[in-house]
Structure 1
Amino acid sequence: MRSPPAIWAPGVQVLGYTVERQLGQGGFGTVYLARCEGQPCALKLLQLMRVGERAEREVSILMRLRHPNVVGILGHGYWPVAQPQFAVIAMEYVDGRRLDMWAEEENPTARQVARVVLDVARALAAAHSDGVVHRDVKEANVMVRTSDGLAKLVDFGIGDYEGARSLTQDILPPGTVDYRSPEAWKFLRTQRDVPGARFTAGPADDLWALGLVLYPLLTARFPFDGPDAHALTEAILSSAPTPPHEANERVPRALSDVCLRLLEKTPEARTPSAHALCEALEEALRGADATWDVPLCDAYNEDSATTEGEDIDSFEQWRDRPGHRPRRGRRAVPEEWPAPPLDVDPEAGAEAPPQVTTVHAPARAARLSHAWAVLALAVVVVAMGAALMRWTPHVSNPEPTRQEVAASAKPPQAGLAAAPIGPEAIAAAVALPATLQEVSSTVTTQTTVPPSLQILSKPTKKGMRVMARAVSTAAACTALTACPGPQVRPPPPPEPCPVGAVKVMEKLDIDLGDKGDAIFEEGVPHYISVHEGPTQLILAGLWGDMPSNTVLSGRLIVRDRVYGRLTWATTPKGDSFPVCVEVYAEEGARGMAREPGDDSPSSARIFTTARVKAVSEFE
């Protein structure tokens, strides 16, 4: 059975590195933020069964490329040491953002774009001079460092170099489809039926891909378009892109010409080398004036004016409409609706306002909560007084009459919302291999109403029953001085989904909230002992388009219940992809009930049958 690629929990020691958190996940492996002797690094974990010699190829490329614009390698090895299943590559940690996220958030000027692309060109010049071809130049494989804006080219996982043995038998080498050069598409069309035909990507392919990266940086548009894949390929082969300075009047002509030269249809007409590209960019920057320091795009706001009489109601329509300068940035947050008063009759037919992301506790609710707290405190004080009156001084070593207050079982969402999330907050030093179709997604968390603010269907009666049980328990426990407080271990804290997991589940027709059946072990259902750490469940039946017997991998967290967080799926045919799945008991509660027989803090007895639920984050 194939081991999952994402199995390291925070604090795990691997080859001298201490894992802190996951940075990203792809088809063949996972990248973690780790530390060694206090220094941060990106730890790339690759499945040997899937990548084969590519891990060694990537290490050899990085070892020969020592350049400030290329991510550096710190070390490599195999894990576990006794029976290696993974290659581990420790690389420089780039604290920054992917190029596309940087452009979207910074709305850069022409000068900033030219400098970033010049950094990438210098990285390619160093690689090409050493006989190395990247073969996967794209925005996701360029990191822009936060501290100084320096760009670094990352992920040489499918790179190649002169004299290296071919690792694939396909007519085209591995790479991201949208960034293939015209000569690659032309070769595929003319040679697809020729036995043994192989297209060899060279420096010109990297330069074409960099042109495809530069054009959207200047215009916020892709240079070629078509209603389907065939039409798009035709446009790449035969259509000339609109010059960037015509698509966006703020693009300097010199920078527009550099971009168009990279997008020439033939290698002979294209910029001849990465060195020549560096010279062209440096010359353009020397002639830059004040117009190069104006943001290339307009900021997008809901109240931005459009031409009178035009019906342009979306960002996409505005961005793609000729004659208008493109926009970057996020939509403005809609204005919040006021919270409805609590004394409105929900059955009176009043229209409920739309939900908003920020929840305000009404003053009345706060007063009611305060009143309940005062009442509970008063009852507890009375009970403590009664216990003290019954206490006699001849009792030796009395138990302390202090009631410990357990922490809330579920951490508030406000703390999670305050933390940065998504790719814009994940500084990865290296992207993952693109030999499988890339799935990009923003990791998001849904803002939910904290439990204390949720309006229950029958708040008064239920609240009184709960309060009565709590007060009576507290009073009894205080009166009987030998009654200890419950030792409650709270559920695990929230955690984001792996990158791309939600989109993958959507493509498999698995909606958020959908549940499927799974088992920990095959055979007649029975009790088993489990330990905190890596785990695997087997899907018992078809779940959306995910086939039966798919292995769901992740980890178990032992608390008062046993929680399971599954982040990777492997089908019976061997296809692997990220998922975001939580383990539920058959009776419907999150996590598995602990069965009698094991009270250990790190292990438990559970039943072998379970339910799995698709989620957008681990609560």
Structure 2
Amino acid sequence: MRPPPAILVPGAEVLGYAVERQLGQGGFSTVYLAHNGGKPFALKLLHLPRVGERVEREVSILLKLRHPHVVGLQGYGLWPPGEPRFAVIVMEYVDGRRLDVWADEENPSARQVARVMLDVARALAATHAAGVLHRDVKEANVMVRASDGLAKLVDFGIGDYTGARGLTEDILPPGTPEYRAPEAWRYFRQHARIPGARYVASAPDDLWALGVVLYWLLTGRKPFDGEDDAGFIEAVLTQKPTSPCEENERVPHALSDVCMRLLEKTSEARTPNALAVVTTLEEALRSADAEWDVPLCDAFGEDTATTEGQQDSFEKWRNRPRHRPRRGVRAPPSRAEAPTTQVKPRRSFRVWAVMRMVLALVAAVALLPRGAERFPEAVTPRQEVAPTDKSPQSDRAAAPNGPEATAAAVALPATHQEVAATVTTQTPETPSIPLSSKPARKVRSVMTRAAGTAACTALMACPGPQVRPPPPPEPCPIGAVKAMNARSIRIGDTHGAVFVFSNPQIISVHEGPARLILVGPWEGLPSKTELSGRLIMRDRVYGRLTWATTPDGDSFPVCLEVLAEEGDRGMAREPGDDSPTSARIYTTAGVKAVREFE
């Protein structure tokens, strides 16, 4: 399983750089915007036990490349000092948007696309001239600067260079399958059963990927598709895609020809090198006319909105030859346009029912005689989790001590944030979590606090509480909403989760890394999926979960807010710990899919 490589809170300091916010996250690294001396930098943290020699490979590559269209290396180090667990690559910060986001929001013209592709081709020409291969050219690895539209090639994490030692044992080098060249798939088919066979990528592989990117920019779709992996590979090997100018009539023929030459099935027939791409694009731009300044795609607007009654006409438009895709900012639908049919039911924590119950309990407490507090309580033994410096493995062996046994707990300090786990316990094969049946003491603690607050307010005789406001808003990790949508989890959906798999209990938690476990399947997420993120201590305990790891080891970003079991944002603090950095909370919770943290 792969938890997030690093979770740093705003304000954390790494090698003298003050972290501001997360920029992106992958399987082996996390990138943050940080400042040093008033200047912005991009900090890439890689978990040393997992990346091995690859971090040295990436640093070596960046040292070889000094080009205005390649992200620049600013420094390198290990962190934390003394016992390093992360490699830190300090890079130039590109204030802008990823190429795919830029295209979707900007709805660029042919001239804009050609200029961006010219920048990327120049970057590849310099890269190849230095004996380096990128091996992962795609929209997500190109940044378009906001100030002037200049494009930069980023993320050489799986790159290679002449003379470098091989780091993988697979038949194909690392890369994104949708951008692999036909020669790579052909080699895979012919050598899949030959032990020790290794495909060696070359510059034409990067050029093919550049062609795939250009095709998407011009048409809004990828050049190849298939019902499954085998069908996709077969299409790459045998099918010639429709030319971009036929797919979209606004694409100039000169730009369409550049794209199709990059998508030739053999490296010999393909454009010979990136420098030739640069020359061809420069010539095309010199002869460009006013038609190159028309947006390539139709913009979203009221006239493009689709309702249920217009489905037939929309399908005719969508399948019409030479149609143009839609791009640009979508206008928010009005309430009158909101769908009223086929609305997917959402899970609910029945907030109003709980509120009515609490109000009734508060009223009952006001009528209780003083001796009622001494009534015996029918509660099950609880387990309180105390902080420990031991490893999770040793904590699992902790023996009970007294009526409130000690369960396993790990809450790493804010500076050691790779293992994002607040509580680690032995997970049973078939969890049975009574999410709605709390011990009597739990209910009474909530009731007593509410009654006490009401009494203080009514009598004006209690000192005012130290109010700690909720944490400030924060954007979701890049790609989180898309990853959740891919698994049919919509914004606003909720589901149950727990901090520990055992009977409901009160535990101690700390500011910093946290881990919850999903109870039961949630759309495309299987049961026991680990949800990692961090806890923020305020008057309530707020949780922001940014990474999911399924039992099968599949990892991806998410954006989930932690809810109390009653449905409120944040967990209620139980009596006994008013520390600004720790709290006592109940183990059962909920999570809610959000577009951004409030």
Pick the TM interval, shorter chain: 0.7 to 0.9
Q: How far did 1:212 drift?
A: 0.9
1:31 aligns with 2:31: yes
Partner of 2:472: 493
Return 244-253 or 143-152, whichever deviates more: 244-253
Contact 1:564 1:591 in 2 (8 A): yes
Q: How far did 1:296 drift?
A: 2.4
In 2, Cα distance between the equivalents of 1:539 and 1:66? 46
Instruction: Pick the aligned partner of 1:615 from 575, 584, 593.
Output: 593
Partner of 1:219: 219
Q: How far did 1:158 drift?
A: 0.8
Identify if the C-alpha distance between structure 1 residues 38 and 320 changes in structure 2 by more than 3 Å, giving closer, same or farther: farther
Q: Secondary structure at the match of 1:103?
A: helix
In 2, Cα distance between the equivalents of 1:125 and 1:533? 44
In 2, Cα distance between the equivalents of 1:474 and 1:570? 45
Q: How far did 1:545 drift?
A: 6.7
Q: How far did 1:111 drift?
A: 1.9
Aligned partner of 1:334: which letter? P
Aligned partner of 1:490: which letter? P
How many residues of Structure 1 are paired with residues of Structure 2 in the alignment? 487
Counterparts of 1:145-160 in structure 2 under 5 Å?
145-160=145-160
Counterparts of 1:323-338 in structure 2 under 5 Å?
323-337=322-336
Instruction: Pick the aligned partner of 1:606 from 566, 579, 585.
Output: 585
In 1, Cα distance between the equivalents of 2:63 and 2:187? 32
In 2, Cα distance between the equivalents of 1:326 and 1:552? 36
Counterparts of 1:224-263 in structure 2 under 5 Å?
224-263=224-263
Contact 2:497 2:591 in 1 (8 A): no
Q: How far did 1:188 drift?
A: 1.1
Instruction: Pick the aligned partner of 1:592 from 558, 568, 571.
Output: 571
Q: How far did 1:180 drift?
A: 0.7
Counterparts of 1:113-512 in structure 2 under 5 Å?
113-303=113-303, 313-314=313-314, 318=317, 320-337=319-336, 476-477=459-460, 484-505=463-484
Partner of 1:516: 496
Partner of 1:112: 112
Q: Secondary structure at the match of 2:112?
A: helix
In 1, Cα distance between the equivalents of 2:247 and 2:260? 12
Contact 1:144 1:151 in 2 (8 A): yes
Identify if the C-alpha distance between structure 1 residues 79 and 595 changes in structure 2 by more than 3 Å, giving closer, same or farther: same
Deviations 1:208-244 (A, max 9, x none): 1111111222222322344443333222212222222
Q: How far did 1:87 drift?
A: 1.6
Q: How far did 1:95 drift?
A: 1.0
Identify if the C-alpha distance between structure 1 residues 311 and 589 changes in structure 2 by more than 3 Å, giving closer, same or farther: closer
Q: How far did 1:542 drift?
A: 6.4
In 1, Cα distance between the equivalents of 2:550 and 2:84? 22
Q: Secondary structure at the match of 2:117?
A: helix
The alignment yields a C-alpha RMSD, in angstroms, of 3.5
Identify if the C-alpha distance between structure 1 residues 26 and 612 changes in structure 2 by more than 3 Å, giving closer, same or farther: farther
Partner of 2:547: 568
Return 212-221 or 71-80, whichever deviates more: 212-221
Q: How far did 1:53 drift?
A: 1.7
Q: How far did 1:473 drift?
A: 6.5
Q: How far did 1:285 drift?
A: 1.8
Q: Secondary structure at the match of 1:198?
A: coil
Contact 2:300 2:326 in 1 (8 A): yes
> Where in structure 1 are there 5+ consecutive unaligned residues?
340-350, 356-468
Q: How far did 1:96 drift?
A: 1.1
Identify if the C-alpha distance between structure 1 residues 473 and 294 changes in structure 2 by more than 3 Å, giving closer, same or farther: same
Aligned partner of 1:613: which letter? V
Q: How far did 1:24 drift?
A: 1.7
Identify if the C-alpha distance between structure 1 residues 50 and 507 changes in structure 2 by more than 3 Å, giving closer, same or farther: farther
Q: How far did 1:336 drift?
A: 4.5
Identity over the aligned pairs, expressed in percent?
A: 68
Q: How far did 1:163 drift?
A: 1.0
Identify if the C-alpha distance between structure 1 residues 561 and 106 changes in structure 2 by more than 3 Å, giving closer, same or farther: closer
Return 246-255 or 21-30, whichever deviates more: 246-255
Identify if the C-alpha distance between structure 1 residues 504 and 280 changes in structure 2 by more than 3 Å, giving closer, same or farther: closer
Identify if the C-alpha distance between structure 1 residues 548 and 246 changes in structure 2 by more than 3 Å, giving closer, same or farther: closer
In 2, Cα distance between the equivalents of 1:127 and 1:293? 30
Contact 1:6 1:567 in 2 (8 A): no
Aligned partner of 1:611: which letter? A
Deviations 1:315-361 (A, max 9, x none): x864553133444224444345499xxxxxxxxxxx99999xxxxxx
In 2, Cα distance between the equivalents of 1:544 and 1:109? 39
In 2, Cα distance between the equivalents of 1:471 and 1:524? 31
Q: Secondary structure at the match of 1:334?
A: coil
1:553 aligns with 2:532: yes
In 1, Cα distance between the equivalents of 2:231 and 2:205? 21
Q: Secondary structure at the match of 1:303?
A: helix
Q: Secondary structure at the match of 2:126?
A: helix
Contact 2:562 2:592 in 1 (8 A): no
Deviations 1:171-216 (A, max 9, x none): 1111111111111111111111111111111100100111111122
Contact 1:13 1:19 in 2 (8 A): yes
In 2, Cα distance between the equivalents of 1:196 and 1:83? 37
In 2, Cα distance between the equivalents of 1:96 and 1:18? 20
